[in-house]
Chain A
Amino acid sequence: MSQKVDVAIIGAGRMGQIHGPNAARHPDLRLKYVVETDASLAGALAAQTGAAIATLSDALNDPAIRGVVIASSTDMHLEHSLACIKAGKAVLCEKPIDLDLAKARAAAPAFEGARFILGFNRRFDPHVSALRDKIAAGVIGNLETLTLINHDPAAPPPAFIPRSGGLFKDFTIHDLDLAYALLGEPPAEIFATASCLVDPMIAELGDVDTARVIIRTKSNKLCVISNTRRSGYGYDQRVEAYGSKGMAATGNERLDAVEVWTENGASASPIRPNFLSRYMPSYAREMDHFADVLVRGVKPSVGYAEGLAALAWAEACAESARTNAVVKL
């Protein structure tokens, strides 16, 4: 049994509360520090995981710390990543890499050779990765078109909208990355159209809550992305991949597998209500991958380049929706 590798986490908010315990319970990792400016959040996560509370510089200056999980607020992702890389740490960073494409792009030299995982968690979802494996194995022939359905259960609080970066950078970015991962080809053209149908407040804040995107790749593969901030029926997360020999699809998970038949018809339990319920296994698998990078020298499967590309495509979506024109990349 090799010794556990020490890691620190920056951020003890919503995502930190997922990644912190995942790191702490991982057989290859030990969560040594929690770095968080909010003392009560820091205290709660430290108590839960057995980690100590530390400042960023203390954590980065500790040579025992080999890896850092970045789960701070979006506007700090890039700065924290650069500090960790400079200190020689491997990084698992939450998406998005930043909301400012130029700023993210300018940081490229620092990421060269860095061990950096960008947490596009859906790539790590067991259903999605099984689908990807089956496509790669040729079960549906050549992949031709793709439909990604990503509907949130309910709109975020209005206060989140102005700092979210907008629907495309905050939300669609997951689908843009997944489209790339599944199509195996970047978009060559993007057309996006958006509406505000869920909550007029979102429009007042300058954002949209409903969108459809069509991606065309260089080889003319087509992908449709469907987004809404409020489904009314749970967290709808589906992928349909259409190939030359068939279709492969992932459905939604339900809260339980019970179905009931009565004289009123058939009923099933609701689909999973939110991302915490739906994607917990993906976060655990993400942490497995981080441990593989730290302990076994595995190369990160998704990193800075993918984060930068997805951000650029999200900006292209926003531009397309704004100008009502196809954006060529």
Chain B
Amino acid sequence: MQKIALIGAGRIGRIHAANVAAHPELQLAYVIDPIADSAASVAQSFGAKTADLDGALGDASVAGVIVASSTDTHLDFSLRAAQAGKAIFCEKPIDLDLGRAQGAQAQFEAAKARVFLAFNRRFDPNFRALKTKLDAGAVGKLETLHITSHDPSPPPAGYIPVSGGLFKDMAIHDFDMARWMLGEEPNEVFAAGAVLVDPEIGRLGDIDTAKTILRTPSGKICVISNSRRSGYGYDQRIEAFGSAGALRANNVVESTVEAWTENGAQADQFQNFFLDRYAAAYKSEMAHFADMLVRGAKAQIGYADGVAALALATAAQASHVKGLPIAL
């Protein structure tokens, strides 16, 4: 059993804690959170102890650290864990400041850190199956890609100022997905953002709607569609257009029941928000972390991937503000 310390006992921390506890090769040893009640609650639920960071990192029997704290602490906690020789499972994004994230890369390399940057959507069974078929040449050579990522409803207004903005907070998932699917680094970004959902988001300096185009050196084009409020659930789709056809991963529905009446057909809603929609992905990424710890597997998504996604998000924000395409 590999011992795990969890930093952050919030919403996503609790998900990871449950997946650690459920994994046959992992054991949740410590939960670290400045909010004592949260730490105690998660620790108690999954048979762990609460600890402070030094205590957890100082325990030589701890093999891996999960960083699920607030975004502004991801980088510092990851670096501390790296310097303590622990393998790291870090929530996205790696940081909100590209320069800082780039600057820290050498320190991670110096510590020979094993960092897994947990972009959960790569572990979604649907998107993974699409990628497998794409790589197998099911639709010939990939030419263009559409990623749709619409949240059901906007976050509380209080979250907006600390979120880093729509591109770094939300679209960063899609930038990572685009890099993974395209198999080529985008070298140009154009983003058109708007405030259409809630004027309060605009007053706080952010946007709630965006359409982004990425281009690669070989001329591949990717469109990302983002909204903070769909009005119809959590819309998570990918379409990949190739030289010999198209692949599509659709939304996952709450149930497969459809009802027909004289008024037409009625299908069930999409699975609600990320905790439900990506439950399998969170479980699967924890299995990957166990593979890293137990069998020495290489992280499928590393620190450099986190930096690359952040670079795209930063460029998209600049493009939106300036009204120009940005070269990378």
Known: A226-B144, A236-B246, A247-B230. 6 other contacts (CB 8 A): A191-B190, A197-B144, A214-B211, A222-B211, A231-B241, A246-B231
Does the CB pair B196–A325 fall under 8 Å? no
Taking the nearest CB of chain B, how far is it from the CB of A9, in angstroms? 37
B92 at the interface (CB under 8 A from A): no
A78 at the interface (CB under 8 A from B): no
Does the CB pair B325–A325 fall under 8 Å? yes
Could you list 12 A-B pairs, sorted by A, with CB under 8 Å? Answer: A145-B211, A145-B227, A151-B241, A189-B323, A197-B143, A198-B143, A214-B213, A216-B192, A231-B241, A233-B245, A236-B246, A325-B324
Residues in B whose Cβ lies below 8 Å from that of A216: 192, 194
Residue of B192, B230, B232 ringed by the most chain A CB atoms within 10 A = B192
In whole angstroms, what is the CA distance A38 to B191 when docked?
A: 49
Segment with Cβ contacts to B, from A103-111, A112-120, A237-245? A237-245
A147 at the interface (CB under 8 A from B): yes
Binding site for A on B (CB under 8 A): 139-140, 143-144, 146, 150, 188, 190, 192, 194-197, 209-211, 213, 215, 219-221, 223, 225, 227, 229-232, 235, 241-246, 323-325
Please tell me which one of the listed residues A191, A197, A231, A326 contacts residue B246 in the complex, with CB atoms under 8 A apart: A231
A-B contact count (CB 8 A): 112
Chain B residue with the shortest CB-CB distance to A324: B325
Residues in B whose Cβ lies below 8 Å from that of A147: 146, 225
Chain A residue with the shortest CB-CB distance to B202: A220
Chain A residue with the shortest CB-CB distance to B222: A212
Residues in A whose Cβ lies below 8 Å from that of B196: 144-145, 220-221, 244
- Please, what's the 1-or-0 string for A137-175, where 1 marks a CB less than 8 Å from any CB in chain B? 000110011010001000000000000000000000000
Binding site for B on A (CB under 8 A): 140-141, 144-145, 147, 151, 189, 191, 193, 195-198, 210-212, 214, 216, 220-222, 224, 226, 228, 230-233, 236, 242-247, 324-326
Does the CB pair B221–A145 fall under 8 Å? no
Does the CB pair A145–B143 fall under 8 Å? no
Residues in B whose Cβ lies below 8 Å from that of A211: 221
Does the CB pair B231–A244 fall under 8 Å? yes
Residues in B whose Cβ lies below 8 Å from that of A228: 143-144, 241
Taking the nearest CB of chain B, how far is it from the CB of A75, in angstroms? 30
Does the CB pair B195–A247 fall under 8 Å? no
Residues in A whose Cβ lies below 8 Å from that of B139: 232-233
Taking the nearest CB of chain B, how far is it from the CB of A220, in angstroms? 4
Please tell me which one of the listed residues A144, A151, A236, A326 contacts residue B209 in the complex, with CB atoms under 8 A apart: A144
Residues in B whose Cβ lies below 8 Å from that of A212: 144, 213, 221, 223
Taking the nearest CB of chain B, how far is it from the CB of A233, in angstroms? 4
Chain A residue with the shortest CB-CB distance to B327: A324
Taking the nearest CB of chain B, how far is it from the CB of A326, in angstroms? 5
Taking the nearest CB of chain B, how far is it from the CB of A228, in angstroms? 7
Query: Ordered nearest first, which 3 A-B pairs have the shortest CB separation?
Result: A195-B219, A220-B194, A246-B232
Residues in B whose Cβ lies below 8 Å from that of A325: 324-325
**Given A212-B144, A232-B244, A243-B231, A224-B190 contact (CB < 8 Å):** no
Residues in B whose Cβ lies below 8 Å from that of A324: 325
In whole angstroms, what is the CA distance A230 to B139 when docked?
A: 12
Residues in B whose Cβ lies below 8 Å from that of A220: 194-196
**Given A145-B225, A242-B150, A242-B227, A193-B192 contact (CB < 8 Å):** no
Taking the nearest CB of chain A, how far is it from the CB of B239, in angstroms? 9
In whole angstroms, what is the CA distance A211 to B223 when docked?
A: 11
**Given A145-B209, A195-B221, A247-B246 contact (CB < 8 Å):** no
In whole angstroms, what is the CA distance A150 to B213 when docked?
A: 17
